[in-house]
Amino acid sequence: MNIAIDGPAGAGKSTIARIVAKKEGSIYVDTGAMYRAMALYFMENKISPDDQKALEEALAEVDISISYRDGVQHILLNGEDVTDRLREETVGNMASATSVNAKVREKLVALQQKLAKTASVVMDGRDIGTVVLPDAEVKIYLTASAHTRAVRRYEELKNKPDASNLPSVEQIEADIKDRDYRDMHREHSPLKKADDAVEVDSSDLTIEEVVERILEISASKKAN
């Protein structure tokens, strides 16, 4: 049984998906991390997101794979574990800009579909319910207002050891809106709610409440 969780940046997908996977005894697959690892490669090799030809040529040189240690997903970029380098804003923005490319998506979607064939997965991203796993038994579209997401991200950054260059909530919110717009309006696999997905707005819900709701939906699917 597969659970697809899609939604905009900062809605809490990865936190929620990780807990749901644990409770369901499934494997958690963070597809955003794959796009981020690919973005890191482009950044390190100074490939511009506007240069589609260079992006596509570089794909032959990029190998992304996943391994699990103590149930935690690690992303390997050409054999090197880059997991700890993927969360930065610059990498997220580059991932958003380069994930518009159809060939980039093709490569990662194939890897994601292969993973879902080997085990029950809880997979989060933008196109999981619509493109990657259209037959997933449970589909969730997890959202929250842009302001709520910006405040959450601000709190997260504030608690990091190096909080010297802390952006304002307004700056983060503007960034989030830009990213939403790009993710929702791109030509290939834009972020949108699958027709059969259940929308959950996490703005006024705790993590536990969201998890509870998803587990209920999953249980009712199993019962039918």
**Interacting residues toward ligand DC by CB under 6 A:** 9, 31-32, 35-36, 92, 95-96, 99, 125-127, 179, 183
Q: Measured between alpha carbons, how far is 43 from 174 in angstroms, rounded to an integer?
A: 23
The answer to whether 8 touches 180, Cβ cutoff 8 Å, is yes
Half-sphere exposure of residue 182: CA atoms within 13 angstroms, side-chain side: 17
Tell me whether residue 181 or residue 220 sits nearer to ligand DC (CB atom). 181
Tell me whether residue 187 or residue 223 sits nearer to ligand DC (CB atom). 187
Collapse the DSSP code of 201 into the 3-class scheme (helix H, G, I; strand E, B; otherwise coil) and give the result.
strand
Give least dist CB 220 to ligand DC, A: 26
Give least dist CB 2 to ligand DC, A: 14
Give least dist CB 14 to ligand DC, A: 7
What is the total residue count of the chain?
A: 224
Q: Measured between alpha carbons, how far is 65 from 149 in angstroms, rounded to an integer?
A: 29
Give least dist CB 127 to ligand DC, A: 5
Tell me whether residue 102 or residue 198 sits nearer to ligand DC (CB atom). 102
Tell me whether residue 126 or residue 152 sits nearer to ligand DC (CB atom). 126
Q: Measured between alpha carbons, how far is 216 from 209 in angstroms, rounded to an integer?
A: 11
Tell me whether residue 191 or residue 211 sits nearer to ligand DC (CB atom). 191
Q: Measured between alpha carbons, how far is 166 from 193 in angstroms, rounded to an integer?
A: 32
Give least dist CB 46 to ligand DC, A: 20
CB atoms under 10 Å from CB of 79, counted, come to 7
Q: What angle separates helix 169-185 from helix 146-158, to the nearest 10 degrees?
A: 130
